[in-house]
Amino acid sequence: MPNSSMIIYGKNINMRTVTTKDAEFIYNMRQNQNKTKYLSKVTGTVESQKEWIKNYKRREEEKKEFYFVIESKDEKKLGLVRMYDFQDESFCWGSWLIKEEAPKTTAIESALQIYEFGFYSLGFEKSHFDVRKGNDKVIAFHHRFGAKIVDEDELDYFFNFEKSDYEITKEKYKRYL
- pLDDT tens for residues 43-92? 788 999 999 999 999 999 999 999 999 999 999 999 999 999 999 999 99
DSSP E strands in 27-113: the ranges are: 66-72, 77-84, 90-98
Domains in the chain with CATH codes: 7-176 (3.40.630.30)
- pLDDT tens for residues 113-127? 999 999 999 999 999
Give 130's pLDDT tier (boundaries 50, 70, 90): very high
What phi, psi does 72 have (nearest 5°)? -70, 170
Neighbours of 75 (CB within 10 A): 9
3-state secondary structure of 32: coil
pTM for this structure? 0.92
What pLDDT score does 34 carry? 66
Euclidean distance between CA atoms 8 and 18, whole angstroms: 12
Amino acid identity of residue 94, one-letter, is G
Give 38's pLDDT tier (boundaries 50, 70, 90): low
